[in-house]
Structure 1
Amino acid sequence: MLQQKPPRRCEGTAMSAIILDLRPGLGIGPFSLGMRISEAFAQIEQQPKIYDVVHVKYYNEEPLKMDIVISFPDHGFHLCFDPWSQRLRLIEIYDVKRLQMRYSTSLIGGPATLATFIAVYALFGPTYPGVYDGERGFYTLFYPGLSFAFPIPSQYTECCHNGGVELPLEFPDGTTPVTCRVSIYDSSSGKKVGVGSLMDKASAPPLPVGSIYMEEVHVKLGEELYFTVGTQLIPFGASPQDVWTELGRPCGIHQKQVDQMVIHSASDLRPRTTVCGDYFYNYFTRGLDILFDGQTHKIKKFVLHTNYPGHSDFNSYVKCNFVIYGSDSVGGSFQEVHNNKQRAITTSTKWDHVKEILGGCGRAAIQTQGYGSNPFGSTLVYGYQNIAFEVMKNGYIATITLFQS
């Protein structure tokens, strides 16, 4: 089912329409096509008085099957993010009367400026005839990176001849339809995107050459991480200086609390309130934490995050696009690795398939951060040699922790 975060305030409070710059094929206001979901949230947090009612919607049971949607009900538009890459692929203004848009020096939409067919045509200029969807009763007019959907009353469907409408569109009674939806999408693919079934054709623009976002991180269990775009190699036992040299300055550094799992060790008599000397380097923009031993200052653990909605750490980290190979592939050549993708474990792999690849394991440990700070409930942690999986209730992996047994 669809899940959403609670709004910041009651929706009944009236607000005046805001004005956002419309950039066909690029975005609207501070939101740009291709931006990461974390960047969108950062923009929202910078303007809490404007975006004070925000809904985050996603398909909890199968989070990769439907968009992650950030919706602004007060302003009548939402942002659709590709569920795998978590990049903005489509912007839709679904209540044009709530949002006033500025294109060049002119305004359109909002409660005072109706976005009629005539007004759209006058502002954006001539274009090719659009597409009429008889089943939905919509006529969609396309411009590069931009489309307008107009509802056609049943008594005027005869105005749509052979799927097209002569421009500018006017009904026999002299009226003109008012757009009910505006879509903004990347036009570089050359595909027409509008409403209904055409929505799924919209995709985020290509990443810049050399971008490290969503780069594959190859995991060699018990040995190292390999970053495929920058070709950095980070082995267990590396020093903080080594990591700085390869990955740059960490986003944060914090001291690790005593591992709660030490209670299961009868030989460890330290009080559980003890703070150990180990410390983390946090690379939030890479979806990665690195744990150093407080005595030797060598890497002892890596924690990689998938950034799925429905987990307490959602939006704290960028998604780490890791690839782990089964025990019969670990240590193989690069070509052997790519020839054995059926045994690869990635961010998209569900827990049942992990068990098929790695075999069964013992009972799971329950991990929770407390229901006050974590409304999504507990997760389960399963351990294998050199790796532990934190698994969400829907069977998807939330984090993996890498260590040397």
Structure 2
Amino acid sequence: MLQRPRRRCEGTAMGAIVLDLRPGLGVGPFSLGMPICDAFAQIEQQPNIYDVVHVKYYDEEPLKLDIVISFPDHGFHLRFDPWSQRLRLIEIFDVKRLQMRYATSLIGGPSTLATFVAVYALFGPTFPGIYDKGRGIYTLFYPGLSFAFPIPSQYTECCHEREAELPLEFPDGTTPVTCRVSIYDSSTDSKVGVGALMDKACAPPLAAGSLYMEAVHVKLGEEIWFTVGGQHIPFGASPQDVWTELGRPCGIHQKQVDQMVIHSASDPRPRTTLCVDYFYNYFTRGLDILFDGQTHKIKKFVLHTNYPGHADFNSYMKCNFVIYGSDFGGSFHQGEGTAKRMITPSTKWEQVKEILGDCGRAAIQTQGSTSNPFGSTFVYGYQNVAFEVMKNGYLATVTLFQS
């Protein structure tokens, strides 16, 4: 698990913030189901509050474990599904560091102890919880919300059943104190707490017609097709065509240098004066479109996977592209047995080679050694498509062009 500190600013008082607790929905500005890019946007808007932020992920297999944004000074973290990159679970792991507001009452933080009695008084009656004997943890459940309480070994007989009685007080008159709070979507009706129960938390369903992670089908050398909106964008389309189909781009910038012109001995002009091509950036769709500066026609599409460990991470939302192997002629319609022949953001480079065949040596992409802490990537070219591959074998970008 790689841990990447985002920023650090000393002197912030621990437990000094108060966040609204919304069972089944979120906490503070963080809402269940939000894309990871939106979470980072919230963090960037409040740098004085979220001044120490860690990003944790499994570098070798980024789809195996959650992407976690952690706030160690405030005692909570956000867990994102690694495939959809949407927030599935919020955990307050140090309740003494984060004060939560529910309705008009406060709980947690350094001044308001989150005892079992306090939780029960604030959130009301509920069914008996679950006792994990191996961990010594009693978990109390409300819709979209759970509280975990450690039970001292001398009082485990109070919770000897899996569904134990409510441990309002121990025989000595004390009451358990919350060690962890979990906030999760309640629509699946799954109890979520510590241990294996945390894996049951899923991001809430997307709204009908949502464009997030819509499948983008690729017909190599011809066009891309968006499945939700039904837009077809072919090579050779104009900027006006793209505006009509996809709306205003998030950004427009000129391509500074044509890096391949060095291979041409016939044109003596300086490299920096040759390229007048320009990009339309659709960050929320994980897509760049390159236009020829002379003809103003589309010449390339760049599709981004937004994996952590790449220099462009958090610049784009994930593009959920689908590319079919050459055996299927670029058809958009999936027939029987084609799933193993599809290239998607989850496909590793070795699988790509099995589908498309070997393409020879790779070009090295550094993206600026001083500003890129993740090292170089490798670019492999085929007819009409090039793949930028990370060191862990996952695809970073896919560039589509006409040969």
Q: TM-score, normalised by structure 2?
A: 0.97
Question: Secondary structure in 2 aligned to 1:167?
Answer: coil
Cα displacement (A) at 1:14:
4.1
Q: Which amino acid aligns with 2:234?
A: P
Following the alignment from structure 2 to structure 1, what is the Cα–Cα distance between the partners of residues 207 and 53? 29
2:324 corresponds to: 325
| Structure 2 alignment gaps of length 5 or more | none
Deviations 1:168-227 (A, max 9, x none): 521110100100000000010011111111111100000000001000000000000000
Contact 1:256 1:275 in 2 (8 A): no
1:362 corresponds to: 360
Percent of aligned positions that are identical: 83
Cα displacement (A) at 1:367:
0.6
1:228 corresponds to: 227
After superposition, where does 1:60-209 map in structure 2 within 5 Å?
60-209=59-208
Following the alignment from structure 1 to structure 2, what is the Cα–Cα distance between the partners of residues 90 and 173? 35
Following the alignment from structure 2 to structure 1, what is the Cα–Cα distance between the partners of residues 44 and 149? 33
Following the alignment from structure 2 to structure 1, what is the Cα–Cα distance between the partners of residues 334 and 351? 23
Q: TM-score, normalised by structure 1?
A: 0.97
Contact 1:121 1:168 in 2 (8 A): no
| Structure 1 alignment gaps of length 5 or more | none
Contact 2:15 2:99 in 1 (8 A): no
Cα displacement (A) at 1:313:
0.4
Deviations 1:88-110 (A, max 9, x none): 00000000000000000000000
- Change in Cα spacing, 1:57 to 1:335, as seen in structure 2 (3 Å) is closer
Cα displacement (A) at 1:273:
2.6
Q: Which amino acid aligns with 1:280?
A: F
Q: How much is the aligned-residue C-alpha RMSD, in angstroms?
A: 1.3
1:30 corresponds to: 29
Question: Secondary structure in 2 aligned to 1:199?
Answer: helix
Q: Is the counterpart of residue 381 in structure 1 residue 379 in structure 2? A: yes
Q: Which amino acid aligns with 1:340?
A: T
- Change in Cα spacing, 1:61 to 1:187, as seen in structure 2 (3 Å) is same
Deviations 1:117-158 (A, max 9, x none): 000000000000000001111000000000000001111100
Contact 1:321 1:346 in 2 (8 A): yes
After superposition, where does 1:4-43 map in structure 2 within 5 Å?
4-9=3-8, 14-43=13-42
1:372 corresponds to: 370
Further displaced range: 6-15 or 121-130: 6-15
1:279 corresponds to: 278
Cα displacement (A) at 1:21:
0.3
- Change in Cα spacing, 1:28 to 1:61, as seen in structure 2 (3 Å) is same
- Change in Cα spacing, 1:95 to 1:355, as seen in structure 2 (3 Å) is same
Q: Is the counterpart of residue 291 in structure 1 residue 293 in structure 2? A: no
Cα displacement (A) at 1:263:
1.7
- Change in Cα spacing, 1:16 to 1:178, as seen in structure 2 (3 Å) is closer
